[in-house]
Structure 1
Amino acid sequence: LGAKKPMIVTDKGIVDSGLLKNITVLLDEADIHYDLFNGVEPNPRDENVHRGAEMARNLQNDCLIAIGGGSSIDCAKGISIIATHGGRIQDFQGAEKVFGTPLPIITIPTTAGSGSEVTFSSVITDTKEKTKFSVRSTKIAAKVAICDPELTVTMPKNLTAATGMDALTHAIEGYTANCSEPIANALGLYAVELIFKYLRRAVAKGNDIEARAGMLTGSILAAISFSHSDVAAVHCIAEALGGMYDKPHGVCNAVCLPEIMDYSRDYCTSKYARLASAMSLQFSSEEEGAIAAVKEVRKLSKDVGIPSFTSFEIPESNFREIAVKSCENLSNASNPRVLTIDDYMVILKKLASK
């Protein structure tokens, strides 16, 4: 890349865990000076992006090294834009609104879930509006992604489960979205196969390097799948919950996935049956396979310890606002069954009853 003064973008958890030293020691050995921005928060905020961009401009950094989960990587993508373009990250909401050249990014994931290390999108929280929005541009895709399963072995069980179910959501929605195409279909199905093979193992035994490698591969394939397609209604609710209540994105996806699948099942029975095959399930008809796929996703979520929707403690009086924001999400149109506000209300009430 020809960069001489990188800035590391990460969060305090990565710094405290000691994982950062695995990378900084190599930079020190190569006599490469680096700066550190560790102000990334979960569900990265617009203010995180703006602070990081100001630091990068002031220090004249010429490259970003994003180390961590999807929050650090998404934040770095935002920083890369604002450091070179100025303005607010909200100005770049939507698709292909980045016309200049952002700072180049190297991504080093420490989780297996978001897949942001290989995508050209960034999801940021608007702190004033309490909503999430996407910035999509091929110009913010990482120049290099260093994906080492050894960096994921220290993830605790709950984070392994949540990020793994996040990857599963990407795979299923990328495959079943109305706008999916052959590349998305192929990669999504194989990602589902890998995740069902390895997620329980990775949760049960964190140092199972084969399981960790399988999950990291599944996460990457799932991310490429939805990049050639879209996410759908699960993400619509999850992003509303994340923006309004700052709930962990992976957990929100995991909680909502089985219910959305069940609600959409009759609109993509054939694809759901293919999902059942990827899960190594036996069935005698497509309808039977589709039903089995939903049940198996629900079982996996329970097996890896995903909490219930009721653990969020969201009053029913707030459901309509969640439903409205979910319906306004542009990815709602990609769901196999395009949902209305009333549909989302039905789903939220079902989630609250379990």
Structure 2
Amino acid sequence: MRWEFNFNVPTSIEFGNGTVNNVGKRAKELGGNKVLIITDKGLAQTGILDRITNSLEQEGVSYLIHDEITPNPKDVDCVKAYEKFKNENIDLLLGLGGGSSMDTAKAIGVLFTHEGDLKDYYDFDKLEREITPLICIPTTSGTGSEVTSGSVITDTVTKKKEAILDIKLAPKLAIVDPELTLSLPKSITAATGMDALTHAIEAYTANVAEPISDALSLYAIELIAKYLPVAVENGKDIEARQNMLVGSMIAGMAFNNADLGAVHAMAEPLGGLYDTPHGVANSIFLPHVFEYNIPSNPKKHAMVAEKLGVKPEGKTFEEIAQEGVVLLHELASEIGIPKFRELDNVNPEDFQFLAEGAFNHLCTLTNSRELSEEDYLKLFQKTYENKMELSTH
């Protein structure tokens, strides 16, 4: 096989216990004189924010705090934050939290540096210049947004999730401190961990995958499969937390270069319509889409299954991969992920709308197996019924 690919990691990474205490120094190194910290109210009331503000104060860096982030960030909230702080001479942004905080920080950076509306910059490579310099500090092991050049925002008019995708959006620095994840609740640990696993599996099986993303994806799958149940069971296990953060981060690097697939194409319309947490949505669809995709590349899907824990001896690639489907279902059940029909407000009458949104999603183009709108409708229906054996139709 002849490889032709590009691979970018535009973000510098500082990883380790206690690294959050260096944020003041790093802010100064990036030329920050006045920082806007973007986070949520829950984190704003914890000692995590105090550690950051203390570090900034020690280095003489002034700051303001925007703590109104909610899950599945919306365009109107990004604009509201921009209007509030646009005249404050902010020269450095700091996204603290999960993907919602970091994606909102990126979107605010776009508004600080570009004219027009956010919708003007949806899709690939629409930015004219780099955004306001950004430091990202993740407190979950899920989105990998600290190392990606994308921002997913819900359009409140269309009820659809949209993405700004441009290398000029990438954070300058990611400070990745496992200690910040020790107090994460079980449910969020589970959902964000499955989000990271989805990133790794979809990046590996995507039809635009390449060797560097493959290597990162496989290692991420191995780490997450081993340590996610441990982290959910005992959130104070620092070894599990460290490995989950590494897995989440390198899965982010992988999909930032190899893209994703039908799981995300289904999850994002669901989140746009029902405000379903992104990690939960990915968790629900992952086993069913993985099974549907097996015929496209049985060998690669078997390799995923092996990293999940399947013993391959004496089995075909298809058999190994099918056992991987079972393990994905079992993992989601073990860590407490709800079933599709158990989610609030889910209405089967919406499945046609969701299927249309999934079919038109960018990730459909890079899914390992081709799907029609009708295929998506069947996947939504069969996931709702929690049926398996999708790869046989």
Q: Using the alignment, how far apart are the partners of 2:253 and 2:278 within structure 1?
A: 18
Amino acid at match of 1:296: L
String of CA shifts for 1:135-177, please: whole Å, max 9, x gaps.
0111111111000010011110000000000000000000000
* Matches of 2:292 and 2:126, distance apart in 1: 34
- Residues 50-89 of structure 1: pairs in structure 2 closer than 5 A: 50-89=79-118
Residue in structure 2 matching 1:280, options 286, 309, 314: 309
Q: Does 1:117 align with 2:146?
A: yes
Q: State yes or no: 1:311 paired with 2:345.
A: no
**CA drift at 1:322:** 0.5
TM-score by length of 2: 0.88
Matched ranges for 1:1-354 at <5 A: 1-283=30-312, 284=314, 285-312=316-343, 313-354=345-386
Contact 1:54–1:83 (CA<8 Å) still a contact in 2? no
Greater mean deviation of Cα atoms: 48-57 or 37-46: 48-57
Of 85-94 and 161-170, the range deviating more from structure 2 = 85-94
Q: What is the letter of the counterpart of residue 323 of structure 1? A: A
The 10-residue stretch of structure 1 (4-13 or 206-215) with the greater mean CA deviation from structure 2: 4-13
Deviation at 1:343, TM superposition (A): 0.7
Identity of counterpart residues, as a percentage?
44
Instruction: Give, as a single letter, the amino acid of the residue that structure 2 aligns with 1:346.
Output: K
Letter aligned with residue 276 of structure 2: K
Using the TM superposition, give the Cα deviation of residue 306 of structure 1 relative to its aligned residue in structure 2, in angstroms: 0.3
CA contact 1:11–1:41 (8 Å) conserved in 2: yes
Query: Is the CA contact 2:199–2:252 (under 8 Å) kept in the aligned structure 1?
Result: yes
Q: How many pairs align? A: 354
Q: Find the aligned partners of 2:308 and 2:274 in 1 and give their Cα distance.
A: 33
The one-character-per-residue Cα deviations of 1:282-333 (angstroms, maximum 9, x if unpaired) are 1222122111111111111111110000112412111100000010101101
Distance 2:43 2:117 in 1: 27
Q: Residue 280 of structure 1: CA displacement?
A: 3.2
Letter in 2 for 1:345: L
How much does 1:253 deviate?
Answer: 0.2
- Aligned partners of 1:21 and 1:249: how far apart in 2? 28
Contact 2:39 2:68 in 1 (8 A): yes
Equivalents in 2 of 1:155, 1:5: separation in Å? 29
Shift of residue 100 of structure 1? 2.1
The unaligned stretches of length 5 or more in structure 1 are none
Whole-angstrom distance in 2 between the partners of 1:88 and 1:38: 22
CA distance in 2, matches of 1:351, 1:276: 20
Secondary structure at the aligned position of 1:146 is classed as strand
Q: Which amino acid aligns with 2:141?
A: A
Cα distance in 2, alignment partners of residues 167 and 225 from structure 1: 11
Preserved CA contact (<8 Å) 2:32 2:61: no
- Provide the C-alpha distance between the structure 1 equivalents of 2:349 and 2:138, rounded to a whole number of angstroms: 38
RMSD: 1.0
3-state SS in 2 of match to 1:74: helix
Report the alpha carbon displacement of residue 81 of structure 1 after superposing the two structures with TM. Answer: 0.8
Residue pair 1:130, 1:243 contacting (<8 A) in 2 also:
yes
The 8 Å contact of residues 39 and 95 in structure 2, kept in 1 or not, is answered as yes
How far apart, CA to CA, are the structure 2 residues paired with 1:43 and 1:279? 29
The residue identity in structure 1 corresponding to 2:357 is K
Measured in 2, the distance between the counterparts of 1:331 and 1:26 equals 40
SS at match of 1:58: coil
